[in-house]
Structure 1
Amino acid sequence: MMDENDDGARVGLWVVLGIITLLLFGLIFGLGFRAMQAKKAPAPAAAAAPAVAVVVDVLIEGPLAGEIVGKLFFEVAKAELPADATAALAPVLQALAANPGKKLVIAGFHDPSGDPAVNHELAKNRAKAVRAAITSQGVDAARVALRKPEQTAVDGPADEARRVEIRLVD
């Protein structure tokens, strides 16, 4: 293809091959260097992320114990706090402040009618709403536990099946 006398074309070809080789080595070493730097330095997004308290929904079991310091009654099929929630939670906050070594256990209740899984979830969401209201008042989340939802008796008052009890425990 190339003539023996065509030294200029041969030199040009070697120059082009040399440049391509240098670009490839530069690219490979640059990527390797970048990967090593990424391992050494923490990710900027992780360093800038604020510390967020994670609330885990651990449902405790066992017999109901402790002094009832609050009781809230909810609307049918609703988990939103009732209008009188602030007034109902005031004695709870006072009892907790007066007993710094004690904790709260929040238990939601539901009746046996309808789908048990839906009722269980509704009672749990009601208890979580009460917990959120209490912790929003500055109470440490570690002092507030959720209890596994309870089913009420069939013949009991209807509003008792839509209640959340707050107990002060050791």
Structure 2
Amino acid sequence: MEQEDDNQNLVLGILFGIIALVIGLVIGLTAYVTGQTNTAKPAAVEAVEAPEIAEIGEPLVKLYFDSGKAELPANAAEEVAKVVAKLAEEPAKIVLISGYHDETGGAAVNAEVAKARAVAVKDALVAAGIPADKVAMRKPAITLGGADAAEARRVEVRVQ
């Protein structure tokens, strides 16, 4: 009888140990997943993922890029100067940047290139003296620029 009680206690001890281990595992995984979703995102990603801002009017500036490239075009300084001047005239407004791409290459790569182009333009605007909090980046609703591939590889800048 005493040996039967010892076996029963051993089985119950193992069972409770397994239950405690499973509960600990669930709590640990929950804490790990929650910690990962609350980590800070890089500033460029936050800007792109910010709430959508509607485009108002025609773009003040359009910068055209080479295929697959995010380096600013040769006329970038002139175009950035136009934006700086316009914002100086209307300081209450913001600058809205949208990057586009053509159909060359894969969709994921194209989206990254369009984003990199927009970030390059934003960096140029900030370097020219526009406060970073006055520059918003918008993911275009249609990322393809149209039938003309050269027209598609652009970044549009609006002061609105």
TM beyond 0.5: yes
Of residues 129, 148, 151, the one that matches 2:143 is 151
Post-superposition offset of 1:65: 2.2
Counterpart-to-counterpart distance in 2, 1:99 and 1:62: 18
Specify every segment of 5 or more residues in structure 2 that has no aligned partner in the other structure, as ranges. Answer: 1-41
Name which of 112, 120, 128 aligns with 1:129.
Answer: 120
Q: What is aligned with 1:74?
A: 65
The 2-side partners of 1:67 and 1:110 are apart by 18
Corresponding letter in the other structure for 1:144 = V
Greater share of strand: 1
Residue aligning to 1:40: none
Cα distance in 2, alignment partners of residues 153 and 103 from structure 1: 23
Equivalent residue, structure 2, for 1:84:
75
For residues 73-121 of structure 1, what are the alpha-carbon distances to aligned partners after superposition, in whole Å with 9 as ceiling and x for unaligned?
0111100101111012121111011000000110000123421110000
CA contact (8 A) 2:103 2:149 kept: no
Amino acid at match of 1:166: V
Match in the other structure for 1:139? 130
Paired with 1:146 and 1:139, the residues of 2 have a C-alpha distance of 14
Runs of 4+ residues deviating >4 angstroms: none
Give the TM-score taking structure 1 as reference length.
0.62
- How many equivalent pairs are there? 115
Q: Does residue 58 in structure 1 map to residue 50 in structure 2?
A: no
For the pair 1:114 / 2:105, whether they are aligned, the reply is: yes
Structure 2 distance, partners of 1:65, 1:146, is 14
Please, which runs of 5 or more residues in structure 1 have no aligned partner? 1-53
3-state DSSP of counterpart to 2:60? strand
1:142-163 C-alpha deviation (Å, 9 max, x unpaired):
0001111442255x21111110
> Letter of the aligned partner of 2:150 in structure 1?
D
Task: Report the TM-score, using the length of structure 2 for normalisation.
Answer: 0.65
Structure with a larger share of its residues in helix: 2
